[in-house]
Every structure is written in C-alpha cells, then in structure tokens.
Amino acid sequence: MDGVILCTDASSAVAPTGGGVRPQRAGVAWALRRRPEAYRGLAVPGFPDYFTVCGVNAVVAYASLLLSAELATDWIAPWARRILTEGIRSIEMRSEATERYNTKIQPELQDTSWTGNCPNFL
C-alpha cells in the first residue's frame, strides 16, 4: 500500500453555531456557514489536507454526481500523489486564491436559477 486517504474532519457535523473566532474544534461546516466559499468546490482555506468532491460551487448542483466526483478526483489525485512521492507534509488552499477564484466565477453565476426568484432549478 502506498498511502491511505482518510476523512479527518469528523467534527464538521457537530460544529457550533454563532459568530466570533473559530472554536478550537470547529469543523468545515462552521467555516462554510460563516463564509460559503471553496476553491473549485474542492478545498476550503483553513483546513489543510481536506478535499471534497461535493463542495460549495461544485458541479454536482447541476450535473451528474458521478461526473462531478470524477472531475474532483482528477484534481485531487495528483495532489495526493505529490504528497506521497515528493515528501510534502501538508497542503492547504490559500484564502487569497479562493477569493480570486470565487470573484472570477461570480459574473457567470449571476445568470443561473440560483440567483433569481425560482424555487427550483429543474
């Protein structure tokens, strides 16, 4: 076996509510309630080595879940490979890169059903 990939954010399901400074054991859910942004729907700043295939602004909202998972895996797998082969100890998406990405896609999202008065995208 070359490597093991585990889910490391078990606390996200029971993350505290409210504002203020991030509590010591607050998870991804807490962070996304405060600022729902992820880089390409795959990585959340402040959570090293955490990737998801169904994150914020991910393809899954309007396409096949399997296709979305495949596209996400195509992005995540090379990073996992680099961690295993290049001695990288940890990776984390930078807030600045996430903000640039989300600012760039906002104009494209403004014409989607999510921004209007439509109760259903189907």
Evaluate if residue 16 carries a pLDDT over 70.
no
Q: Give me the residue spans of the domains in the chain.
A: 10-106
Query: CB-hemisphere CA count at 13 Å for 12?
Result: 13
State the pLDDT at residue 99: 92
Entry pTM: 0.66
State the pLDDT at residue 22: 47
Alpha carbon distance 64, 78 (integer Å): 22
Most confident of 20-34, 37-51, 55-69: 37-51
Alpha carbon distance 122, 111 (integer Å): 15
Give the Cβ contact number of residue 109 at 10 Å.
11
